[in-house]
Structure 1
Amino acid sequence: MKLLQCFLSKSRLILCSLLIFSTTGTVSSVASLLITSTAVAQEETKLGDRKTRRTPALRATVYEQLARAQSAGDAGNVEDAIAILDLVKSKADSMNSYERAMMYNFYGFIYYNEERFDETIEAFQAAIEEQPIPVSFEQTTIFSLAQLSMMQGQYDKVVGYLERWESLNDGKIPPKNYILKAQALYQNKQFSDAARYIEEAIVNHEEAGFLPDENWLTLQRAIYFEMKEPEKVKDIIAKLIRLYDEPKYWIQLAGMYGELGREKEQLATMEVAYQRGFINSASDTYNLAQLYYYHGVPYKGAKLMEDAIASGLLEENLRNLKFLGQSWQRAKEEEKAVPVMQQAAQMSDDGKIDAQLALLYFNLEQYDKAIDAANVAIQKGDLDNIGNTHMVLGLALYNTRQFARALDELAKAESFAGSRGAARQWSKYVEKEKSTYESRLAIEGAP
């Protein structure tokens, strides 16, 4: 895009507009200047109750030289354009303040088009140092300096330029000024001041019958997020959804509900996003599956995880397989959980998943497999509650009539506080069953 746009009309009027990308990524016109070669009278600018400012006119001879520089710049002959302006500058003593300001302004436009931003700023600063100059011209140049300072990360200067602009203004402050000031204050971590200006800009814009720009609301959201006001952040995101309905805002709204501890609204928002096709990333898919799990609908979470792994959206790694297996298990779908947990156990260096797999086998009355899985779990180690694993192993051994080994494992379970009580009760029961079984065998074996 050509950032310096100047158009020479048949009436010998030249319009120059400097277009600058703002920090929000939008293009805005930050300076516009109308010059006429026939202006010879002095300009009078009334500043409210302040004194009238009288400014000299731009003479035709100076205008013609500036127009030549502009034509050279438009043709891509930047050095020629600067050389012409240098020639004009050599006669600066014979020029009035407005003419010198216009000369520096043209330097600034040409430098900007070449992305020579430091020189652009110097030229515009020189332009506004020339006095008297028309108020509108001074304000336009000051606002350009504020935008350029924002691009350069000089946030204190942004605020200073905008305050100077306001001191010249007679009437309402445009929203764009408050937005730029809010951006600078936000970058300077002056969040409460930034909040005040962004709020005023949005309110004034809405009262005038206009919708706030999407980037204004995202800036406002960022400010209140830094101020740790999640309720306001939530409300702003809800407004973004009403006005712009982007998928990312649904995910952000769900996140804010989670931060506020409103888990039901979090799940409902994520489910709406899922139904509308907005859940497309691995992280969002996993988060939704977790919400299903913790809100008592693990089957939905397991199905979501299973489909995402099958499609390649989620990796077939230890974390995902473990959670998928746990989801099937909690959904009382043990048979679906077993192959997933087997795969996860093979990837795991510790015995935690093998311990879960042993319990699954036990519940499915596959006692031999439960014994094998429990032994692997104990061998791998690093278990959260090794006593419970010894107890599962003991009960699986009991069900295969290996009473002595079962009692040994239950005795080991008794040595851990978390499983002591249950292990003692089961030990007594197994002792009785052992005695009964041995007595029956003795009777059956008697002649």
Structure 2
Amino acid sequence: MKLARCLKPVRPLARVVATGAVLSLLQVASPVVMQEVGYQGSLPGQVMAAEKTKNTEKTRKTPALSAKVFEQLEKAQEYAEAEQFKEAVAVLDKLKGRSSKFNAYEIAQMYNFYSFIYYSQENYPKVLDSYRKILAQSPNIPLAMENSTKYQMGQLYFVTEDYKNAIKTLENWFKVEPTANENTTARVLLAQAYYQTKNYDKALSQIEQAMKITQAKGKEPKENWYLLMRVLYYEKGDMKKVAWVLEELTRRWPKKDYLVQLSGMYSELNNEKRQLIALETAYVANMLSRQQDLLNMAYLFLGSDTPYKAAKVIEKGMKEKKIEPTAKNYEVLGNSYRAAQEVDKAIPAMEKAAKLSPKGENWARLANVYLDDDQYGKAADAARKALKKGGIRRKDNTQIVLGMALFNQNKLDDAKKVFKSIDDKRSKNMKEQWLKYLQSEIDRRASLEV
């Protein structure tokens, strides 16, 4: 089963501001102002710029970005924002022709713009190639730029389904990025990559860490995190954990699918009581509409000795046209009402089942119900139809019902013929007893007529 992606790669952003007005500002601005407007390069004319990364003592010296290179990058960005990608690439290609004279930071910024344009065109192989050329300029580029490129590269490897390289790149990013440990989005992405390579233990480790970090901040983990965890536990064959995840999903996001899946998982764990509770919860909330879900619940009610509830579920489902009025479904409805001692309601359902069925089995069952309800004429008629249609599991039992119905109608000779016709060894004793009793009753009535 392929996991739906919940993450997309961060859109590569140009690290140079786009307008000449801002460029003029940067030439006279303080370092604080430069940080606020997003400029990460050095001022034109400066030879070296010192960069200190947040939460680290590392200091990396970065070459300057010249005014001429900046102007060309600005021009390329203007074309890109106007979606004139061909013109933007032409500007960068011209710039690349002179790149032998550029410093590492200028080359990195140039390829950063290439990645921006290629990403806009969804040309992911060229985006990745641009990322590699940016990283090739290390250590003469800002550490933040290097780490950000690694993260974007890991995301893009994932999107292009190169999961092994996605894992390798993201794991490397986790080692060097000071803020990585708190980045739950990155952990979930890495967990998905591990899932795709079937490394379920490492995937679980990452998703569990993401959840712990989130909960420690007093926030709730995202729904799709639990969905990933559910798949991972399922792949590992840990059904108890799958059930736990589904319990969390139904508690936080009560949806039909989760309740139905939870019910199915309880079935796997042979916990019919909880299986029924989960389905009934969905039913009461009016979440169940599929015929199979409704029938499953009806069968569970039957199994838990609550046949009346089973009957009501099926009857309501038929009225709402969620359950098809087939012979089988009418049969279950009739049997449910019969088990609930609601014979008056069982008979109409069983009559419909018999009329819709091509075989005689439902007529045979109906004959039994009629006999129990002292409707002997209908019992005899139903038994005859069952025998005529055939396909009865126990023909001898239906013959016995017919014989008993005839006896109760005082049709002793007809009843005797029926019992004589029984040739099933399983009913031998009953056949002989009835024949003996019928003969004695015939003889007794004959003596009274003399």
Normalising by the smaller structure, the TM-score range is 0.7 to 0.9
Listed one character per residue, the Cα deviations across residues 63-122 of structure 1 (whole Å, up to 9, x for unaligned) are: 222222222121121222222222222222122222222222222222222222333233
State the shift of 1:404 in Å.
4.7
Aligned to 1:122: 129
Aligned to 1:67: 74
Aligned to 1:191: 200
Larger deviation, residues 92-101 vs 297-306: 92-101
The separation in 2 between residues aligned to 1:371 and 1:149, in whole angstroms, is 75
Cα gap change, 1:224/1:88 in structure 2, threshold over 3 Å: closer, same or farther? same
Matched AA of 1:108: S
Residues 1:289 and 2:298 aligned together: yes
Cα gap change, 1:364/1:35 in structure 2, threshold over 3 Å: closer, same or farther? same
Aligned to 1:169: 177
State the shift of 1:255 in Å.
2.7
Cα gap change, 1:104/1:291 in structure 2, threshold over 3 Å: closer, same or farther? same
Q: 2:246 aligns with which of 218, 237, 240?
A: 237
The separation in 2 between residues aligned to 1:143 and 1:248, in whole angstroms, is 34
Aligned to 1:315: 324
SS for the counterpart of 1:315 is coil
Residues 1:376 and 2:385 aligned together: yes
8 A Cα contact 2:99 2:107, kept in partner: yes
Larger deviation, residues 213-222 vs 275-284: 275-284
8 A Cα contact 1:37 1:64, kept in partner: no
The separation in 2 between residues aligned to 1:394 and 1:34, in whole angstroms, is 100
Listed one character per residue, the Cα deviations across residues 345-391 of structure 1 (whole Å, up to 9, x for unaligned) are: 33333333222222222222223333333333334434333333333
Residues 1:213 and 2:218 aligned together: no
Residues 1:138 and 2:157 aligned together: no
Larger RCO of the pair (alpha carbons < 8 Å, separation 6+)? 2
What are the residue-to-residue correspondences of 1:427-446 with 2, within 5 Å?
427-444=432-449, 446=450
What are the residue-to-residue correspondences of 1:208-287 with 2, within 5 Å?
208-287=217-296
SS for the counterpart of 2:43 is coil
8 A Cα contact 1:12 1:37, kept in partner: no
Residues 1:341 and 2:350 aligned together: yes
Residues 1:158 and 2:166 aligned together: yes
TM-score scaled to structure 2, two decimals? Answer: 0.83
Cα gap change, 1:318/1:100 in structure 2, threshold over 3 Å: closer, same or farther? farther
State the shift of 1:176 in Å.
2.1
The CA RMSD measured in Å over matched residues stands at: 3.1
8 A Cα contact 2:173 2:180, kept in partner: no
Q: How many matched pairs?
A: 422
State the shift of 1:224 in Å.
0.7
Matched AA of 1:146: G
Aligned to 1:21: none
Matched AA of 2:325: E
State the shift of 1:159 in Å.
0.9
SS for the counterpart of 2:407 is helix
Cα gap change, 1:316/1:61 in structure 2, threshold over 3 Å: closer, same or farther? farther
Aligned to 1:100: 107
The separation in 1 between residues aligned to 2:328 and 2:119, in whole angstroms, is 52
8 A Cα contact 1:47 1:169, kept in partner: no
Larger deviation, residues 55-64 vs 86-95: 55-64
State the shift of 1:136 in Å.
1.9
The separation in 1 between residues aligned to 2:321 and 2:245, in whole angstroms, is 34
Matched AA of 1:328: Y
Residues 1:361 and 2:379 aligned together: no
Larger deviation, residues 345-354 vs 33-42: 33-42
Question: Unaligned stretches of 5+ in structure 2?
Answer: 1-7, 25-37
State the shift of 1:34 in Å.
5.3
State the shift of 1:212 in Å.
0.9
Q: Which has the higher strand share?
A: 1
The separation in 2 between residues aligned to 1:47 and 1:78, in whole angstroms, is 35
SS for the counterpart of 1:55 is strand
- The percentage of aligned residue pairs carrying the same residue is 32
Aligned to 2:62: 55
Matched AA of 2:311: A
